[in-house]
Amino acid sequence: MANVLVVEDDQFVRSALIRELTERAHAVRSAGTALDALREVTRAAPDVVILDLGLPDLDGTEALKMLRGVSDVPVIVATARDDETEIVRLLNAGADDYLIKPFSGEHLSARLGAVLRRSQQSAQPRVYRVGGLRVDPDRREAFLDDRPLALTRREFDLLAHLASRPGHVVSRRELLTEVWQQPYGDDQTIDVHLSWLRRKLGETASRPRYLHTVRGVGVKLIAP
């Protein structure tokens, strides 16, 4: 059972969705406007939101962005616009999935179940282990052979991002975007932080153990 917030201004459609979800043992709340939906989400966060785009007080995309501003609750967008460009735009704006109207109860249930499964998986504690290295992003702790590593905030973010993709070459562009939150920048900044991180891992660029530079491509983290 999940706590579902249905955001739909059409009374008939809203009632049908509430009935369908209730019959499938979900607890359902509803809102008819974007502002009411925001109040509901901030008052008591649901497990998932089903958001209609044709709301009377606010454009659906703007409503989605506002929801994303106050909560990371999964959002399934219900839209009559069967257009790939529009769907891509909505997913990029923060939607977790979408439904094209009209849709069946079975289709709704399948999409809802998939989103809830992904949400539950992402909510599980993350601890990355690579050889003797252990990185816990939630606690912001890192250990090498059970010894705590004293890392700066940026060093930790860099190590955690690499540890989340062990064995994969991570490009410098990706590091700038994901770790430094910058679309572009100076490669020397990455090199300096990698040098500091290597020192704390007891290695050098010429004698790497965990951090391996792939010339002209990026960096990968592997077990020694």
Instruction: Let me know: does 98 contact 79? Beta carbons within 8 Å.
Output: yes
Instruction: Let me know: does 48 contact 5? Beta carbons within 8 Å.
Output: yes
Instruction: Let me know: does 90 contact 98? Beta carbons within 8 Å.
Output: yes
What is the pLDDT, as a whole number, of residue 43? Answer: 83
pTM: 0.56
For residues 70-82, one letter each, b for 16 or more C-beta atoms within 10 angstroms of the residue's C-beta and e for the rest, the string is: eeebbbbbbbebe
| Closest to 142 measured CA to CA, from 218, 205, 132, 177 | 132
Place of tokens 């983290």: 221
What is the pLDDT, as a whole number, of residue 177? Answer: 80
**Backbone angles phi and psi of 97, in degrees to 5:** -165, 180
| Closest to 25 measured CA to CA, from 113, 155, 129 | 113
**What distance in Å separates the CA atoms of residue 74 and residue 130, rounded to the nearest whole number?**
30
| Closest to 42 measured CA to CA, from 65, 8, 22, 71 | 71
How would you write the pLDDT of the chain (224 residues) with one tens digit per residue? 789 999 999 999 999 999 999 998 899 999 999 999 998 888 888 889 999 988 898 887 888 888 888 888 889 998 887 788 888 888 888 888 888 888 888 888 888 888 888 776 665 557 899 999 999 988 899 999 999 999 999 999 999 999 988 998 988 888 888 788 776 667 788 889 999 999 999 999 999 999 999 988 889 999 99
What is the pLDDT, as a whole number, of residue 122? Answer: 60
